[in-house]
Amino acid sequence: MPVEFLGIAATSDGSETTARSTEAFDRDYTLRLGRAHEEHGWDRVLFAYGSGSPDPAPGAAFLATKLDRLQILLAHRPNVSSPTFAAKTFATLDQISQGRLTVHFITGGNDHEQQREGDFLTKDQRYDRTREYIRIVKQAWTSREPFDHEGEYYRFNDFVADVFPVQQPRPGVSFGGSSEAAYAAGGAEADIYCLWGEPLAETAAQIERVKQAAAAAGRQETPRIQVAFRPIIAPTEELAWEKAHRTVERINARKAGGELVRRRGSGGSGAGAPENTGSQRLVAIAEAGERYDRALWTPTAAATGGAGNSNALVGTPETVAQALLDYYDLGVDILSARGYHLLNDAIDFGRYVIPIVREEVAKRDAEREAERARKADAAERDRQQLIAVQA
Ligand SMILES: Cc1cc2nc3c(=O)[nH]c(=O)nc-3n(C[C@H](O)[C@H](O)[C@H](O)COP(=O)(O)O)c2cc1C
């Protein structure tokens, strides 16, 4: 299975290490960053969601009309709209982009951030609601007949959309979270299950939990797995480690200056212990050690309180590519990466890391295919021999 690469669609140039130099929605920067991804081998970019951030849906529509190939992963929080309204927005976007949309359903990992837009449910209730919401969106995308719905969180009668996605039967559903409620909801409904980058052993354990949850929901197939990292690459190992230490110093300096408090709400960000399990896991892993496996480095996660995708992979492009291949070998299908200088790092990673990973994945896939063919031949020979003996 070919591997896919997910980058970030930002509407301004700020990151944990750098204050933004533009407006929150900078049209030119949004396009420049999207174009850098499209021209450097990425498959898709994530438009994230934050309570006060520019709305990602029109941002995604803008990029889709300007670029030809880049696919969009649109983050969406169920608390901000009705599911039928959202389904039409997504279908329209899939039409605008000619079938390049996947929707990332966000349950919300932080109560305070959810309450900013009027959502006062508990996290477990939110996961229940997300599950009901995704089911309705799927039905609205596919049903040509009017339907009623009476559930725990939504009730309506006689809805039928007049706009349908280009992708048939429907666009992909992406989902993230590391709590038991997340595995249950995502295992049941997701096509893509997203994890934040953890060491190989912990990632393998999470993949297993997702598989179990999918089986418990009666599914034959398992969601595709996506894992996210913050690569820090340089031409030599030494330069990469210097860059990594500079990165953490910069994050800590900005934190000390009070510049990093109000972030997207998916982690701690220095404002007390994180509420969501995914961030708690990142903090615990960082407390247990700085370095794991081939290139995983946790001080970037520790410095941000496990705020979302925050574990780094440090080294030369070759080292980082090999580290990513370790995850591919675990069963990861989609590799998500974002640097600390969004634009330059998207270009460098696309130029120097993606080609190595793609080439190695193609080799591994060809070897697996040859092995499958060898086994099938051997089984066929055994069968023929058995027939000959019986005759
Ligand atoms: C890849 C990925 C991207 C995410 N993007 C966002 C986002 O843009 N905005 C947000 O508020 N939460 C985002 N989240 C947070 C999750 O959707 C979820 O609300 C949180 O992880 C739930 O916590 P749990 O680990 O306790 O289940 C993202 C999670 C993942 C794994």
Give residue-wise pLDDT tens across range 158-184: 999 999 999 999 999 999 999 999 999
Instruction: Read off the pLDDT of each residue in 127-135 and give the average, rounded to a whole number.
Output: 97
Instruction: Read off the pLDDT of each residue in 264-274 and give the average, rounded to a whole number.
Output: 58
Position 35 confidence tier, pLDDT thresholds 50, 70, 90: very high
Distance CA 341, CA 337 (A): 12
What sign for the dihedral angle of Cα 65, 66, 70, 75?
A: negative
Instruction: Read off the pLDDT of each residue in 324-347 and give the average, rounded to a whole number.
Output: 98
Distance CA 149, CA 139 (A): 10
Cα 266 to averaged position of ligand 1 atoms, centre (Å): 6
Cα 270 to averaged position of ligand 1 atoms, centre (Å): 17
Nearest to 328 by CA among 304, 301, 356: 356
Structure-block tokens of residue 341? 């200088």
Mutate which of 8, 105, 106 to test ligand 1's pocket (most atoms within 8 Å of Cβ)? 106
Residue 270's pLDDT is 46
Instruction: Read off the pLDDT of each residue in 132-153 and give the average, rounded to a whole number.
Output: 98
Residue 260's pLDDT is 80
The pTM of the full predicted model, rounded to 2 decimals, is: 0.94
Does 74 contact ligand 1 (Cβ within 6 A)?
no
Please determine, for residue 315, whether its predicted confidence score (pLDDT) is greater than 60.
Answer: yes
H helix count then E strand count, the chain: 13, 13
Please determine, for residue 269, whether its predicted confidence score (pLDDT) is greater than 50.
Answer: no
Position 77 confidence tier, pLDDT thresholds 50, 70, 90: very high
Cα 114 to averaged position of ligand 1 atoms, centre (Å): 12
| One-character DSSP codes across 101-168 | EEEEE---S-HHHHHTTT----HHHHHHHHHHHHHHHHHHHH-SS-EEEE-SS-EEEEE--S---SSS
Q: How many domains, in total, are found in the chain?
A: 1
Residue 259's pLDDT is 86
Nearest to 300 by CA among 245, 338, 255, 254: 245
Position 268 confidence tier, pLDDT thresholds 50, 70, 90: very low
Does 110 contact ligand 1 (Cβ within 6 A)?
no
Instruction: Read off the pLDDT of each residue in 299-306 and give the average, rounded to a whole number.
Output: 96
b/e sequence 282-295, b meaning 16+ C-beta within 10 Å = bbebbeeeeebebb
> Across the chain, what does the average pLDDT equal?
95
Cβ atoms < 10 Å from Cβ of 97: 24
Distance CA 292, CA 285 (A): 9
Query: Which residue range(s) make up the domain with 276?
Result: 4-390
Cα 383 to averaged position of ligand 1 atoms, centre (Å): 51
Residue 391's pLDDT is 76
* CATH at 380: 3.20.20.30
